[in-house]
Structures are given as C-alpha cells and as structure tokens.
C-alpha cells in the first residue's frame, strides 16, 4: 500500500513492474538525441528509434516537453562553470564545451535554445527551467568579471 495525503491506495503492479526500464529507455533516448538533435523530433519517431512504443515514452516521461526538459536538464548538470570566471576562463570554457566528448551536449543545448526562441510555447518548460538558470549563472559570472 502507498499512502498519499493520509489516504492509502494499492501500488499499480504494472507501474512497478516496468519502472526499472525507465533508466535504460532514458539512456537510449539521450544517445539518440545527442546523435540526431531535437529539430523535428516526435514521440513516434523517437520511440521507434529506441525500440519502444510512443505509449511507453508517454508512460515514463509524460509529454514531449517534459522529456526535453529532463534531457536538457541532465545535459545542463554536466556542464560545469567555474566559480571565478575571468576573460581567459571564458575562452577555456568555450574550448571545453567544444571538446569531442562535450561537443554534442553543447550543440544540443544551443539547438534547444534556438528552437525555444523560435517556438517559445512549444519549449516553455525548457525556457522556464533551463535557460533561466543558465542565463542567471552566466550573468553572475559576467558581473564578477566586470
């Protein structure tokens, strides 16, 4: 039994049975998106590419917007900006973002930002959560650098 707000309900066996697949599906989705980007991405084509149904994607991740926010959030947490950021550090940061291992993540973030600017309603979750945090962090570093 699961308690929710003082009431108890039974756990859905189907949800519990397949919950372990979420991580593996997310990893496959991440690999696909890093390779192919997000422009023109649909749940059906993404599901086919990672070997699950679009219903499975919706079950585990909700809407396309929610999935994109989760993907871009995971990528954003991997991009580290040093506490103190001088002019030389900005160039070093740019070089680091363009290293072979990080380049696809950086490309995806910039692609997502471009899509969000063009289609703000479709990418509202991304704009509200990811870009706001990212811009604030960069702003703070720019103020520190003078």
Give the burial class of 49: count Cβ atoms within 10 A of its Cβ; 0-12 exposed, 13-18 middle, 19 or more buried. middle
Check which CATH number belongs to the domain holding 30 and give it.
1.10.357.10
Average pLDDT, the chain: 79
Percent of the chain clearing pLDDT 90 (strictly above): 27
Contacts of 19 (CB under 8 A, 6+ apart): none
126: helix, strand or coil:
helix
pLDDT tens, residue by residue, 68-102: 888 888 886 655 555 555 666 777 777 777 787 78
Supply the pTM of this predicted model. Answer: 0.68
Q: Tokens 């909700």 belong to which residue?
A: 62
Domain that holds residue 134: 2-145
Number of domains in the chain: 1
Predicted confidence (pLDDT) at residue 17 exceeds the cutoff of 90:
no
What pLDDT, on a 0 to 100 scale, did the predictor assign at position 1?
44
Mean pLDDT of 41-53: 95
Mean pLDDT of 5-25: 66
């Amino acid at each position: 039994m699961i308690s929710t707000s003082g009431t108890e309900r039974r756990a859905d066996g189907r949800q519990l049975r397949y919950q372990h697949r979420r991580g593996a599906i997310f990893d496959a989705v991440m690999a696909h998106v890093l390779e192919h980007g997000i422009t023109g991405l649909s749940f059906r084509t993404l599901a086919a590419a990672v070997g699950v149904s679009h219903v499975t994607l919706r079950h585990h991740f909700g809407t396309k917007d929610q999935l994109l926010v989760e993907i871009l959030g995971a990528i954003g947490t991997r991009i580290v900006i040093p506490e103190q950021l001088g002019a030389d550090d900005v160039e070093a940061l740019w070089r680091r973002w363009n290293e072979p291992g990080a380049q696809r993540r950086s490309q995806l973030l910039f692609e997502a930002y471009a899509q969000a600017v063009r289609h703000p309603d479709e990418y509202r979750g991304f704009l509200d959560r990811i870009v706001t945090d990212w811009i604030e962090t960069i702003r703070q570093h720019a103020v520190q650098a003078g």
